Amino acid sequence: MSGLAGRRAVLQVHPTRRCNLACAHCYSSSGPDQRAELDVRVLAGAVADAAALGYRQLSVSGGEPFLYGPLAELLRAGRAAGMANTVTTNGMLLSPRRLDPVVPYLDLLAVSVDGPPAEHNLMRRDPAAFERMLRYLPAVRAAGVPFGVIFTLTRYNADQLEWLVSFAAEQGAGLVQVHPLTQIGRARTDLPAAGPDATELLAALAELDRLQRLYPGLELRLDAATTGQLAAHRAELVADPDGPLADLVPVLLVDDHGAVTPLTHDLDRSYGLGSLAYARLSELAAAWQATTAGRLAELLAAAHDRLVRPGADPIAYWYDTVAELSRSMPAAMPVPAPGQMPAAVPASISAAVLAAVPAAMPASMPAAALAPVLAG
């Protein structure tokens, strides 16, 4: 199922929250102390089911995906299912030992860059983060892996976009994706009130438009949409709940405990599909479409109406509004039928499978399109 610019519906997988960093802006509060990870056999089954449901892209994030041992096996499952595979990384662990096994199955590598070296290291809380990331980019180019740069926009760093785009072009990237900071996870406590408002979003949009003319060979995207764009694409943003799941839910998320959530991890938990510890994705999806899809369509319609009404901000990040409104418009919590319980729950996901999902995921909403490409 294609998005507004022909993008594929995306299965975003977060197999672990283990990370070598503990970044200030991390939406999932990932870090070195996290150890839970999802069994690759469970994920491979979910990938196959997602492909049958119309999802055409597998996007792997975390945590740091290159700390997930079976990453190559997961990407191989995506390729076998006919999906395009993307991985989002901090770029600090791309040694040949880790990178070479995934290269045959990788369609796009997204490297997170938070501005010039000093700003990047400050956000990453590691004085060597930029240097170590930069050290491995030649190996990425030599491997022939297409790669892009993903940047978190705050209230204070729109002036760094020119540096960012110049850096990406110099390094041979093909894409720059700018995603607004979401005030969840570690960002809620460590970067309070740092999310960009409509003024910063408009400034970023104007700057990226200017830079696009200077760098025509580099694709620039902003994860936000104007009121006019939202109004023009209502039918795609608020799809028929009786239609294909991938149309109504163009982003489907799986966290490190197996919880499956539509659109964004910050959505009210009552909209969740359930857990892969209890049933296969195909079964969860069928039950959810029968019980909750209609309520999600109502939520999407209400969010759309709010964003295009007279006096609304001229630009917004769609999924932030959907998540915010979901807390005042919860869906009834579906209860798994007894027959959905597996004979044995995989040990790696048997604990805390119904724990609150802690993070919202970016989904690419470029100036001219709203469909996701990268997770990060």
191-204 pLDDT per residue, tens: 888 989 999 999 99
What is the rounded CA–CA span in Å between residue 8 and residue 367? 17
In whole angstroms, give the CA distance from residue 218 to residue 166.
Answer: 10
Strands 57-60 and 84-89: parallel
What value does the mean pLDDT of the chain take? 86
Q: Note the pLDDT of residue 244.
A: 96
Output the pTM of the full model.
0.86
- Give me the mean pLDDT over the 122-147 stretch: 94
With cut-offs at 50, 70 and 90, classify the pLDDT of residue 237.
very high
Identify the residue with better confidence: 308 or 6.
Answer: 308
pLDDT in tens, 59-110: 999 899 999 999 999 999 999 999 999 999 999 999 999 999 999 999 999 9
Distance in angstroms (rounded) separating the CA atoms of residues 292 and 153 = 33
pLDDT at residue number 287: 97
Q: Is 153 helix (H, G, I), strand (E, B) or coil?
A: strand
The mean pLDDT of 150-163, rounded to a whole number, is: 96
Q: Which residues of 137-164 are buried (b: 16+ CB within 10 A; e: fewer)?
A: beebeebebebbbbbbbbeebbebbeeb
Among 3.40.190.10, 3.60.15.10, 3.40.50.300, 3.20.20.70, name the CATH number for the domain at 1-376.
Answer: 3.20.20.70
What does the pLDDT look like over 164-185, one tens digit per residue?
Answer: 999 999 999 999 999 999 888 8
The sheet carrying 259-262 orders its strands as 219-222, 175-180, 147-153, 108-112, 84-89, 57-60, 10-13, 251-254, 259-262, 274-275
pLDDT at 135: 96
Q: 335 — alpha (psi -120 to 50), left (phi > 0) or beta? A: beta
Residue 25 confidence (pLDDT): 83
pLDDT for residue 192: 87
The pLDDT of residue 33: 84
Give residue 372's pLDDT.
43
The whole-number pLDDT of residue 354 equals 25
Count H helices and E strands in the chain, helices first.
14, 12
- Could you report the per-residue pLDDT of 319-369, keeping only the tens digit for each? 999 999 999 999 975 444 334 433 333 333 323 222 322 233 233 333 333
Q: Which tens digits make up the pLDDT trace of 255-295?
A: 999 999 999 989 999 999 999 999 999 999 999 999 999 99
Q: What percent of the chain has pLDDT over 90?
A: 75
Q: Which 3 state secondary structure label does DSSP give 97?
A: helix
- Percent of residues, the chain, with pLDDT higher than 70: 86
